[in-house]
Structure 1
Amino acid sequence: MDGDCATRREYHAEVVGTGPAGGKDVRVVLGTLETPYLGIMMRWLGTQANRIADGLNPDTDTSWLVKKRRALSVAHLPEEAPYVPAELRAWFADRERRQNAYDRLRDGWPFTLAAADHTGTYSLWVVPVDVPADASHDEPPIRTPEGPPTQVQRRRRPRPLLRWLPHREHAGAGHSS
């Protein structure tokens, strides 16, 4: 081998929560994803940030909490204490910060989003990895049509394009369609 083999970029991500449990620091993997598509990775990161925020601070109108509002206890913290749900939601709501993460990953640099409070530390990280282009045998082969399109294929409407970067309006700004 001469070292000139073709490579392709993949993105490997992990979401981890670390915190005290039973007198020990425990590390829990909350999710992982590997994909060659940066747009899918960015969408997944935003979903994970919101999932953690919602898990730590659920809306009291959430269906499973409607009848159990008294089950929630309120922790009174000093005003200067960091608040993970707010930090994660702020990252997701800030289009510029998400674009900076996208640009960093596209350029081949790792990205980490970490927030900590009294419950623990929550980290979302992505590492771009260059892998040999022929190393992925799990991709399905590209099928070529064996004849003219069927009636179903001719009637099929084109699908709308998906956007990799979800847009969330600022609170109180209203919804624009």
Structure 2
Amino acid sequence: MDRENGDKSEIQVYTYRWIILCLFCLCNVINFMQFLQFTIVGNVIQRYYNVELALVDATGLIFFVTFLLFFLPISYLIEKFNLKVTLITSASLTAAGNLVKLFCNEPDRFYLVLIGQALCGTAQVYLLSTPSKLASLWFGAEEVSTACAIGVLGAQLGKCCWLIVNSIGR
């Protein structure tokens, strides 16, 4: 409500925001599938790269470490810059992490696996911190909880896809 005139100011909402929310969920799914992708076949990865199993398990642990290290700085960046920059950054980091992991096909390149996982883990910090902000900025009061739940659902769908792929692969 405009305090001077007593007029109600309406925020115009577009149906396009639902498409953006679905794209955000898709990015979440893609990122969360990276989380434990090497640990599900840990013994194969261990033999191929000739590394300790603990190092293979560290590929999943990287996601937790990056969250602890980058949560506060990334939260600041999310508040400082707009949502578009935040989402482009997270999608770019996920794509860069996957691109780096494409070049780890030689047995002496396990370090590229770790670098790719670190990039995807950093992107995950952005993705985990964004759903509430996306919902509160783009959706009306009656849709905020639904939009936030859908945004978080992307992470859960990524975990479900990982479980499905894991069960099929065995």
Shared topology, TM-score over 0.5? no
Q: TM-score, normalised by structure 2?
A: 0.27
Q: TM-score, normalised by structure 1?
A: 0.26
Q: Flag the structure with larger Rg.
A: 1
More strand by share: 1
